[in-house]
Structure 1
């Protein structure tokens, strides 16, 4: 069986991403929820 190096690389990235997301979820659970208000959107001029 021939293993494509790209497949190996991709599998490794997927694992890295999984770990990263897991850590991210853990961090989110620990930190208090802060809801940041998005900046007000300015209306575009009518002739934009």
Structure 2
């Protein structure tokens, strides 16, 4: 179980509605996956610009 502040909780509920998730865990997993993908892309771009 996790505890969220009101703003974070509302964000999860809005995200669930927007992506048609039934459970908060599904939304949190999706947000985490997208974060990991974005982080990976930023690392690739950063490496590319340092190589140039």
TM over 0.5, shorter chain: yes
Question: Does 2:27 align with 1:18?
Answer: no
Q: How many residues align?
A: 32
Gaps of 5+ in 2: 1-19
Question: Does 2:50 align with 1:31?
Answer: yes
Gaps of 5+ in 1: 33-48
In the superposition, the TM-score normalised over structure 2's length comes to 0.53
In the superposition, the TM-score normalised over structure 1's length comes to 0.57
User: Aligned-residue CA RMSD in angstroms?
Assistant: 1.8
Higher helix share: 2
Runs (4+) of structure 1 moved beyond 2 Å?
A: none
